[in-house]
Structure formats: structure tokens, C-alpha cells
């Protein structure tokens, strides 16, 4: 399997999927989202794949969806935004719905859509220097995959979302349930792979049914309907358009990402 933005290393029954745009900290552009869909389709269909480990190349897991994609080709209106947000949503939640167990090996920043991807995986292992967060409100955007209240509870979810917190440490993320284990940075991938190999020993039918039991418990509690409705609300937000988002994207076009982030952070220097 040859891809441009991801790699897949088949280690027997464990398949290691690496987000591979290190020059952009593995931000998820439209090309990567397309390749993630294809990779997940293949992993779902191949009986040789029993467990999936997801990590990032270089110093980051992923900061989320590529904002420079939006700056270069900004959707306008509900009809234009709908397929963009649906694609974002589908490619993250796929790691929750995949019948094979999924393990995130978070080796650096996991922000916005990247934080959501880490939460969507069944188990999350983080390095000591990894950071998590949902900074969307700081630049006038919404959260695409609203897993936060299901993972950390509504009170903590509101704190993170309202403040756009994007510097949650791995230890704090572990304390509130976003992360299963925190390990030294140089042990993140080896720990995740060792766990994956242990899971892969189990009869895949038993593992598939066990994941189904847990996921359907959440489904009965209303998680699926809530996520769908949250996506509809995010679509309404983006279709209406925030002045903050317009200003941020303009700063991004004129001064690049560094300049846009500096503009964003100056607004919250209070």
C-alpha cells in the first residue's frame, strides 16, 4: 500500500498507520483524509489486520484539520460546508466504529481534530510531553466531532471548549479520561505496539464482539444521535460564518500560520 500522506507498516496482525506530513506537523489536509478512508477500508476488509495503531511522524501526532486548506479555498454557505465537515467527521469517527481495536500512540501535540482522533481510538497512549486540546473557539470555528462530553463529562468539556484550551498536559489528559497511560516519550510507540500485540492474540471474533458491546452501550445512551446533531450545529456555525474566523483566515493568508496564531493569541493576552 503506497500513499503520499500516510504510511502503513504491517507487523503481522498489527498494522501501524502513521500520519506522514511531518513538515506540516501531520495536519490533516483533504489528500490525507482521502487516504485515511482508503486505509480504513482496507484494514476493515483484511482479516490479517487484527489491531490498528495510529501515530504521527516526527514531533507531532496531528494539530487537526489543515487550516491552510480552508484559507486557500474557503467554503461559503451551508451547501459548500456540508461535504467538507462530513468528510472531516467521517474520517475521525471511523477509528471509533472500525470493527478492529484501535490504539493511538500520541507522540506530540494532538489538537482540535487531532485531539478528537486520539479520543476516537479505543485506547490512547501518550508521551510525557504530548499535549491535547480543542482551540477552535479561539479562531471562530466549531468542534467537528464532539466527543469531549462523552469522554470527560459535560463540566470539563465546557471548560476545555469555552476556553479553547490547547495546552492540556498528558498527565492532565490522563486524569480526566482522555488518555489511558502516560509513558516516557521514547516509549510511546513501543508501549502501544506491545499492547496491540497482546490484543491481537485474542480471537478476532471475540474482540470484535467485545468492542461492539461497549460501542453499542454508548449508542443506546444516545452518543451517535448526539454526535450527528453536534455536526449539524457545527455546520450551522460555519455556514453563518464568524467574524473571528474570517479575520483569522485573512491573517493566515497574509502572514502564514505563525502570524495567524500570534494574532489569535494576542487577543487572549488578558
Catalytic residues: 116, 136
The Cβ of residue 207 has, within 10 Å, a number of other Cβ atoms equal to 18
Residue 146 φ then ψ, to 5°: -80, 70
Helices (H) and strands (E) in the chain, counts: 11, 9
Compute the distance between CA of residue 171 and CA of residue 144 in angstroms, rounded to an integer. 25
> How many alpha carbons lie under 13 Å from residue 74 in its C-beta half-sphere?
15
| Cβ(143)–Cβ(163) below 8 Å | no
Strands 168-169 and 110-111: unpaired
**C-beta separation of 115 from 64 below 8 A:** yes
Amino acid at each position: 500500500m503506497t500513499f503520499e500522506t500516510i504510511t502503513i507498516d504491517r507487523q503481522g496482525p498489527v498494522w501501524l498507520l502513521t500520519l506522514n506530513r511531518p513538515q506540516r506537523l501531520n495536519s490533516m489536509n483533504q489528500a490525507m483524509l482521502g487516504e485515511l478512508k482508503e486505509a480504513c477500508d482496507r484494514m476493515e476488509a483484511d482479516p490479517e489486520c487484527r489491531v490498528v495503531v495510529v501515530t504521527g511522524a516526527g514531533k507531532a501526532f496531528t494539530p487537526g484539520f489543515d487550516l491552510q486548506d480552508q484559507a486557500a479555498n474557503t467554503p461559503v454557505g451551508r451547501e459548500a460546508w456540508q461535504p467538507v465537515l462530513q468528510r472531516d467527521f467521517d474520517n475521525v469517527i471511523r477509528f471509533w466504529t472500525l470493527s478492529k481495536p484501535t490504539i493511538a500512540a500520541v507522540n506530540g501535540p494532538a489538537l482540535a481534530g487531532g485531539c478528537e482522533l486520539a479520543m476516537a481510538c479505543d485506547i490512547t497512549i501518550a508521551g510525557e510531553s504530548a499535549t491535547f486540546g480543542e482551540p477552535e473557539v479561539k479562531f471562530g470555528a466549531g468542534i467537528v466531532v464532539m466527543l469531549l462530553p462523552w469522554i470527560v463529562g459535560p463540566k470539563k468539556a465546557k471548560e476545555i471548549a469555552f476556553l479553547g484550551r490547547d495546552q492540556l498536559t498528558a498527565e492532565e489528559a490522563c486524569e480526566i479520561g482522555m488518555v489511558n497511560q502516560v509513558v516516557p516519550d521514547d516509549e510511546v510507540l513501543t508501549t502501544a505496539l506491545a499492547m496491540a500485540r497482546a490484543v491481537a492474540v485474542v480471537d478476532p471474533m471475540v474482540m470484535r464482539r467485545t468492542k461492539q458491546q461497549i460501542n453499542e452501550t454508548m449508542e443506546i445512551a444516545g452518543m451517535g444521535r448526539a454526535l450527528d446533531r453536534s455536526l449539524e450545529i457545527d455546520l450551522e456555525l460555519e455556514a453563518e460564518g464568524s467574524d473571528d474566523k474570517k479575520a483569522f483566515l485573512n491573517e493566515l493568508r497574509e502572514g502564514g500560520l505563525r502570524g495567524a496564531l500570534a494574532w489569535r493569541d494576542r487577543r487572549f493576552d488578558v
